[in-house]
Every structure is written in C-alpha cells, then in structure tokens.
Structure 1
Amino acid sequence: MARLIELKDIDHVPNTVLTVGTFDGVHRGHRALIDTVVKKADERKARSVVVTFDPHPREIINPGKSGIQMLTSLKERCELLEDIGVDILLVIPFDRDFSLLTSEEFVRDIIHEKVGVSEFVIGYDHQFGRDRKGTIETIERLGKELGFDSHVVSKHEMGDVTISSTLIRKTLSEEGNVKKAAEYLNRRYLLNGIVAHGDKRGKPIGFPTANLKPEHENKVIPKNGVYAVKVRVSDKWYGGMMNIGVRPTFEGQKQTLEVHIFNFEKDIYGQTIQVRFIDRIRDEMKFNGVDELKDQLNRDKDNSLELIGQLNEFPHN
C-alpha cells in the first residue's frame, strides 16, 4: 500500500509534489490529477503525496439526515492509490476546529510548513478552506510568495459527461448500473465486507451465501438486484453472484448483501472479503416457492459465468 500517514507523523520534505482532496472513488477524474502528481514527482525526483481527509468534510459541515454515502473507505482509497504509484497518503482528521482554517492558513501552516511542497497540483474546480474560499488563484498567489510551483489539471469528460463522485453514486444506488460506473471509475466498483452469520436459507437449495456487513457503514450499495461479481478471499479470486435486497420470497424486511461464491466451500465467517461488481443481471423478484427460486438461481449462475468469462476491459477484473 501507499504509506498511510497522519499529519502529526509526516516528515517535512520541501521537495514534495502533492495534491489535496477527498478523492472518494478514485475515479477517472481523480486519477488524471493523481497521475500528474506521480509524473511530476518523478521528473523532480521528489516525494509524491496525496492529502486527504477523514471523515469526509461534509460529514462535519453539512452531513444531511443519513450522512455522506461513500464510494471508498479510507483503506480502499489507500489500496487504489498504491496501484497508481503514490508514495504517501496523508490523512488529516477533519473536525470542527480544522474546518475553521482559512485557505491561506491551510496552505501556509499545513502544506508549506508541516508537509513541504515544491509543486502543488490542483483540479480545475477545486475549492478548499473555510467556506471553500480557496481557489486556483489562491494557490498561484501563495506559490509565488512561498516559493512553490502550481499546476492546474482540467476536467475529465467521457463524451459530454463530466465524471464526478456524485454522478457515480447516483449511477450505482439509483440505477444499479455497475458496468457504467466501472467506465467512470476505470475499474470495477468494489466493496469490502466482513462475513457474518445469516439465516442459512441458501445452503439447503445448493446456493450457500456469505452474508456481508460492509466495512464502511456509509458505503454506497448498488440498487437492489442480482449481480455477477468476482470475490477475493485471502488474495485468491473466485467468480460469484450477489443478491442485494430484502429477499421477498422469504418475506424479508431488512436489506441484506449475500454473495454466492462458485466452487467454494471454506468456512470464512469473520473474515473480510472483497467483492468487485461486473454487471447487473436482474431485479430482485418474489418467487412462488423454493423450486421456482432455485430454477432462477441456476439461470443467474449461468449468466454470471458467461459474463465472468468475457472480462477483459479493465486492469482490475
């Protein structure tokens, strides 16, 4: 993994190329920004640093009724950033006191004095600091005064769509379109979860499932339905299919996340596994009995195996 360091533990290194943001999802737009950091750090023989916040700033400033739904946990962000080649993921605990820092105080006292910076890479629309008054102009002006360069990365589009974390959240939670979300992310949408005990209804009909509790309580969950997935257990990958929903055939009320792993019989209760979504197969349905459900699950399995066999679009299948 990229080294995950808190602000109190960071070494001051003047020759550092960095960027700042929440980077929830580490989507294509984020990657364009972070790839630039890594490239420019290589050119300068500098340290590459991504500065992020935990919890999400909106959780403190304007959380709303149900909090902020997250595409990635901090651990997931760290894993994804390592794949890009970032040296350090600097995590700043975001609280009320920190939210009161002005943009100038943040750049002077945190970025320049504590972290060190030779070049600051910033997105075209990034705003930061108290009341989000910090802008590109703020960075450019302070760079001239304090002696660091700045570089602006333009917005990232697919066709006429500007990619954003908000767009991806909607694509997943409202549409269940994990295939389109994967295009925006340039990777499969992933979910880390702990395997918990369920009611074991699947095993008697030949489809035992791992009941998942998401690692992050506010993790974005795709729309209810059945999905073809790949599952990582102890660094080994398996094909599978996942049901997200209330299990109406059994008069369920509470949303559950259940994954059936193909050709797998090990006891993994209490373990953390990773699910990567390939495609949505169908809506959740209510069946007239177990036999009808079992027939549909066999069709779902065939569809999932076919989709898994076609994987080749992304580096992380």
Structure 2
Amino acid sequence: MQVHRSINNLPQFKNSVVTIGTFDGVHLGHQQIIKQLKEEAERINGETIIITFHPHPRSVVTAKNPVYLLNTPDEKISLLSSFGIDHLIVVPFDKSFSEQTPDEYVVNFLFEKCRPHTLIIGYDHRFGKNRAGDYHLLERFGKTLGFTVKEIPERLINDITVSSTRIREALLAGEIETANSYLGYKYFFEGMVVDGNKLGRTLGYPTANIIIHDEDKLVPANGIYVAEAEIGEKATVNNERSIVGSPLTAHRSPLLQGMMSIGIRPTVNGKDRTIEMNIFNFNEDIYGCIMKVFVCQYLRKEEKFNSLEELVNQIDIDKQNSLQYFEGLKKG
C-alpha cells in the first residue's frame, strides 16, 4: 500500500475507486466498505484509494473537547494495509481545509486530485463546511464530472449501526467484549515499558508499567482486564509522539498471556493513572521496550482493599479467571 501524506503531486491513478472517511478503528462497518471498494476495483481493473484525515476533523472543527482515537496514525495505516488497499491518502486536515464548501470539496479536491472512476461511501457520509454535503450532491456532480457514486446502506453494515463513537463509548464503559465485537479484532495499544515502584514484584505479581506516548490514543476504562502482549525492541519516540521500533516477538505463537490493571491503585494511595501488565510465566528484562497489548476481557472494576493481603487474594482470583478465559479459547 502506498501512503500519500500530501494532496499535492499525487500520481495519476488508473480507474480509481475511492472511499472517504476517518476510518478510526477500521471496524466492521469500515470493513464492509473496504470489501465493496475492492470488489468494484477488481471489476473495472482499477486501483483502490482510501482518503482519510489527520488530525481527526472533529478535533479541528470543534476543538473544545479532545477526541480520543481508537487508532494512532501508524496503527490505522497498518490495519488498512492488511486489507490489501493500493493507496492511502492522509489529508493534513486544518481549518482552511474544513472551510471548503461541499462544492469546492468535490471539484477542487476530490475530482482534481483523484479523478475517481467510482466513489463508494457509507450511508451517513457527510463532507464540506458544516458537513452540508451528502450522497445526493456527490451523485449530481458525478453526472457532470463523469464518475459513479455508490452508497452502502445501513442494513449491509452488519445489521447494526457500527460507529467509532459507539466503540469509544463501549471502551470507556469497560464493555470490552462489545467493543471487540464491533471492531472485528481485539482492541490494542502500544507503549513503552518503564520503571515502576516494583510493588507488584513484592506481592508475587511483577508488572510491566506501560507509558503510551500518543496522548490522543484512547485508553479503556479503569479496571482489571485479561490481556495478551507482544514485546518489541528498545523504543524511541518520534516527533509525532508515536513509538518507533520493530516487534521482536511476532513469531511467538500464541501471544504472551496475562492480566492488566488500568487505574490509580487506590489500595496503595496511588494518584496517577497507570497501566500495568502482569505476564504469566515470564521473567525477562523488558525495560525500555515496546509492548503491544491486546485487551481481551473485562474482569472487574478497580477497588480499594483494606490490606495488601486482601489485594493479593483478589489478584489470585483475577489470575484464575484470566487462565479460565485462555483455557476457554483452547476449547474453542
């Protein structure tokens, strides 16, 4: 997949079949659109193009509240690439771009830059200033400019309204199974393993403390989770606050199993929110390494216990419940 981070000097596409959207999460609804995109491109011997935006348009247009994302830019690129897309255009979204009228958006951007043969959009696609453009406007321009517009109706998107917003809400409510069912994969994030206070080691449950450097990445609700992990090489952080490093354990199958805590550790009077992962049967030095965490199942809410002994007793139960989850996977 070729990634184009500028809308200037794009190549001349052949019979381009284009879809547009933020594609945050690359969830099952998005996957239905991608499926039709590829089928149409194969039918006309054309190229598939996905147009997406960075930063998220809502963070530019309505900047009052932060928009927490399901995918970092690199994660989104990786997911879309796995579906065999030919081209990804990442539009640098700013105030000027957002102020285009729907007509300007279609003519000056969409048509002039991509020369689409076919446009495929979801049933609720809106564009241009105040999101005033819709399917009917695209259809009208298609007749004059010579491209076809195809709309995917809501009923084809898994018979449910799958949306990135709904998935965010589920993750923030600890409804991880719901979020994963909408995504079509286990929600994941990457971070760097850093030094902690090593309390877990004294309790018999050493943990990897994880720092996520992309502040826009959504972290699920506080609580205890079943999780899997993949360990990578020593990490560095680039100017976009993304973590850079190649996975070292991609060959390990299955992934490393464990449990994860997200929260403030109230039993020890913690104040800062932390992410800690206890990996079962694992004793390697991974400080400074990338860790990719796949969130499997929500176990319970974070609690304050009267003593460390009570805390350990509950962690013992959490581990047993986690092992039961993994055992269930083996049985299918």
With structure 1 as the length reference, what TM-score do the two structures score?
A: 0.92
Match of residue 186, structure 2, among 185, 188, 198: 188
Query: How many aligned positions are there?
Result: 310
The amino acid that maps onto 1:98 is F
Which residue of the other structure, out of 208, 213, 220, is the alignment partner of 1:210? 208
- Matched residue, 1:17: 17
* Residue 32 (structure 1) aligned with residue 32 (structure 2): yes
Q: How big is the shift at 1:253?
A: 1.3
Which is further off, 4-13 or 32-41?
Answer: 4-13
Tell me how far 1:271 sits from its aligned partner. 2.4
Q: Counterparts in 2 of 1:158-307, with a 5 A limit?
A: 161-173=160-172, 175-233=173-231, 234=248, 235=250, 236=252, 237-307=255-325
- The Cα offsets for residues 23-72 of structure 1, whole Å up to 9 and x where unpaired, read as 1111111111121112211222211111000000111110223x111111
Q: Which residue of 1 aligns with 2:49?
A: 49
- 1:4, distance to aligned residue in structure 2 (A): 2.3
Code of the residue aligned with 2:298 in structure 1: it is R
What are the superposed Cα offsets for residues 101-128 of structure 1, whole Å, 9 maximum, x if unpaired? 2222222222222223111001111100
The one-letter code of the counterpart of 1:53 is: F
Tell me, which stretches of 5 or more residues in structure 1 are unaligned? none
- 1:195–1:213 contact (8 Å) kept in structure 2: yes
**Residue aligning to 1:96:** 95
Q: 2: distance between equivalents of 1:14 and 1:108? A: 19
The alpha carbon displacement at 1:157 in A equals 5.5
User: Percent same amino acid among aligned pairs?
Assistant: 37
Alignment of 1:109-128 (within 5 A): 109-128=108-127
Cα gap change, 1:89 to 1:215, in 2 (>3 Å): farther
Residue 91 of structure 1 and its aligned partner are, at CA, apart by 0.3
Greater shift, 12-21 or 118-127, is seen at 12-21
TM-score (ref. length: structure 2): 0.88
Deviation at 1:312? Answer: 7.6
AA aligned to 2:79 is L
Partner SS for 2:26? coil
Deviation at 1:14, TM superposition (A): 4.1
Q: Deviations over 1:255-300 (max 9, x none)?
A: 1111112222222223222111111111111223222222222221
Instruction: Give RMSD over aligned pairs.
Output: 1.9
CA contact (8 A) 1:171 1:177 kept: yes
**For the residues of structure 2 that align with 1:215 and 1:176, how far apart are their CA atoms?**
22
Q: Give yes or no for contact 2:29–2:158 (8 Å, CA) kept in 1.
A: no
Q: Is the 8 A contact 2:14 2:47 kept in 1?
A: no
Q: Report what 2:3 is aligned to.
A: 4
Secondary structure of the corresponding residue to residue 71 of structure 1: coil
Change (3 A) 1:268 1:4: farther
CA–CA separation in structure 2 for the residues paired with 1:228 and 1:294: 17
The offset of 1:182, in angstroms, is 0.9
Q: Is the contact between residue 14 and residue 115 of structure 1 (CA under 8 Å) also seen in structure 2?
A: no
Cα–Cα, structure 1 residues 158 and 17, in superposed 2: closer, same or farther, change >3 Å? closer
CA contact (8 A) 2:17 2:118 kept: yes
